[in-house]
Structure 1
């Protein structure tokens, strides 16, 4: 990411910074990888460590299915139950990432932070505001909201919102191959810094009152009651902050023949990547086949979340379908889809793909969402 600042900060870091009443603002360095990764410095009215009560709420990691035969899976997630914002309906996961849905009708009932890793919330439908300790950030349909580990936040939908949830146990960043040695996105990147929106307005609340923050850490949920409002920041600067990027600002890379999935990559994290399939012109070789070729996922599981449009290589999927094509067996277009793509000029599909480099497991509670016949839909 690039440098940003909001609010009021002192001229030099780690120096005195006084309020009007002569007391000190409290400086907090928030960073990654032991002070060698991205970081920001925030200035609080109150000590961020001031907690009056702490309690253990229980495990949040889902229970996974017992080992079963390797097969393609398909889940309809449009009917996932509404949540308070802390609870998520996970569908797939491993030790690197959890993938699921969050359907939010009303504002989150508590403040929340993920201390286990970064979160990426993709807005399938809806609009509202992400309120954070770094300030507020409005969201709309098609936005990726990337929220750094440890960020206290609260989602307030303007209209009911459906999110695809991608919870990492690491940091989520832009692909390294699209950045130069200074961290700037290069000319051949499918998006640039102009497309990225950071916090828009700082919301400073200095009141003293007991406020609960639900913290996700070490595989469990914890309740921390602060003696002050968590959004008591008067200013911050640095390279670590929540941001939004809309999938419609992703500029597709095309060619004379079918391009491989890495050209759609949008974000990367430890052992997985996130890709965006957007409306684009098809290949322009006179004999090209626009539909993807059959391929084996040699070292990765492929997850597709179908956002909208006509999915040119699939039958039987609909908006909010999630498919899993596991490593070890081939997958590709459904019968008739290869022939049907020949001569087509463009596609208007939108989809989010997550490729993991460790096998994914299916969460036990998702059986009611599954299309049991998907594995045989190529016959």
Structure 2
């Protein structure tokens, strides 16, 4: 993030002595991006942050993918991944299932009911959308309370854990990058401030509470990192002599934050707006958009639902999280569904949707879209909940099986 935060007592000058109440030194850790040539934060630890007692392999959840071949659009029912009896024993780290992925981004899903282990993604940033439920994301920077509609953006290598609350599952949609995830550059000044035409701004972001020092010993941290396993990934568990949540203060421009989809101000027009008008974040070779309840096109001859379009440069993934998605009616898609429209396939509204929605003034829909600029492959989760019929839904009774 561009704007500077200072949490807790920090010394007046960087990289100078910062002493404990008993006269010892706090241990300063610089956490920075792009070889310390981009955003960074300074964290002050009570103990040495690099100390580890042991390391062992962590067998990651299945990261294998298969090509979308033969090429066709897909409908994936994510709620079927976690039946009622499964979510109570599932956590957000070891229990997440891979739905789609390529070399730039992996899309996963989990319905969780128990706290996760401490976790650090060393391959890239994570953007996690909370479909439903509530909980707390405990991080080395402090805690974030989260609930329905929240995007949680976690910078690469941020140590954290997910703690669900209540007696219903915390349903999470994971967007794991091999890069950083940021607000779109066109919404920012050259110095990083949100511009006036941006659909959200700094006031809409929630940042961590003051760090809570945890005094525990022999603590495990699960780490996902680059390796020679499926997807070029591997897992390791480090055992630390002291709990990593020993930060007493920090400052800088790199930290986790939360943005709620209800605070996104949609950009509308007299005629249909293209998908970039709905963008909320971007990463290397992919973008994240969201479609929120909004007034729709108000030209007297407007066609409110999307026109048929071909993604000549990208695959389009839509996660449907609420409302009525008018263009997809009759396809079987509902809340918890994911549609994959691959590059090379022209797609658009289901039969009858255009005529049915002529004259509509408002759409009550909520969806998270990821467009990737390299083809996506199916993970084990995506393969297991493919409905098998969506590709033929535009052809009606003449569909193949």
User: Shorter-chain-normalised TM-score: which range?
Assistant: over 0.9
**Cα shift readout 1:174-229 (whole Å, capped 9, x = no counterpart):** 00000011200000000011001110232122x25110000111111100000001
Instruction: Tell me, yes or no, if the aligned pair for 2:99 and 2:383 is still in contact at 8 Å.
Output: no
**TM-score for the superposition, normalised by structure 2:** 0.92
Asked if residue 230 in structure 1 is aligned to residue 239 in structure 2, the reply is no
Count of residues in correspondence between the two structures:
377
Q: CA deviation at 1:352?
A: 0.2
Q: Distance in 2 between matches of 1:342 and 1:137?
A: 43
Residue 128 of structure 1: aligned partner: 135
Q: CA deviation at 1:59?
A: 4.7
2:292 to 254, 265, 278: 278
Q: Distance in 1 between matches of 2:381 and 2:112?
A: 19
Asked if residue 290 in structure 1 is aligned to residue 291 in structure 2, the reply is no
Aligned pairs for 1:108-257 (under 5 A) are 108=116, 110-159=117-166, 160-205=169-214, 207-218=215-226, 219-257=233-271
SS at match of 2:69: coil
**TM-score for the superposition, normalised by structure 1:** 0.97
Instruction: Tell me, yes or no, if the aligned pair for 1:137 and 1:201 is still in contact at 8 Å.
Output: no
**Cα shift readout 1:235-259 (whole Å, capped 9, x = no counterpart):** 0001110000000000000000000
Q: Distance in 1 between matches of 2:114 and 2:57?
A: 25
Q: Distance in 1 between matches of 2:257 and 2:73?
A: 33
Residue 363 of structure 1: aligned partner: 379
Gaps of 5+ in 1: none
Q: Distance in 1 between matches of 2:386 and 2:173?
A: 17
Q: Distance in 2 between matches of 1:259 and 1:55?
A: 51
Instruction: Tell me, yes or no, if the aligned pair for 1:60 and 1:220 is still in contact at 8 Å.
Output: no
Q: Distance in 1 between matches of 2:375 and 2:314?
A: 7
Instruction: Tell me, yes or no, if the aligned pair for 1:18 and 1:24 is still in contact at 8 Å.
Output: yes
Structure 1 outlier segments of 4+, above 6 Å: none
Asked if residue 323 in structure 1 is aligned to residue 351 in structure 2, the reply is no
Asked if residue 94 in structure 1 is aligned to residue 102 in structure 2, the reply is yes
Query: Relative to 1, partners in 2 of residues 1:328 and 1:337: Cα closer, same or farther, differing over 3 Å?
Result: same
Q: CA deviation at 1:30?
A: 0.2
Instruction: Tell me, yes or no, if the aligned pair for 1:53 and 1:224 is still in contact at 8 Å.
Output: yes
Instruction: Tell me, yes or no, if the aligned pair for 2:67 and 2:376 is still in contact at 8 Å.
Output: no
RMSD over equivalenced CA pairs, Å: 1.1
Residue 333 of structure 1: aligned partner: 349
**Cα shift readout 1:266-303 (whole Å, capped 9, x = no counterpart):** 00000001001000001110000001000000100000
Asked if residue 107 in structure 1 is aligned to residue 101 in structure 2, the reply is no
Q: Distance in 1 between matches of 2:130 and 2:60?
A: 26
Gaps of 5+ in 2: 227-232, 396-401
Instruction: Tell me, yes or no, if the aligned pair for 2:63 and 2:379 is still in contact at 8 Å.
Output: yes
Query: Relative to 1, partners in 2 of residues 1:71 and 1:96: Cα closer, same or farther, differing over 3 Å?
Result: same
Instruction: Tell me, yes or no, if the aligned pair for 1:60 and 1:221 is still in contact at 8 Å.
Output: no
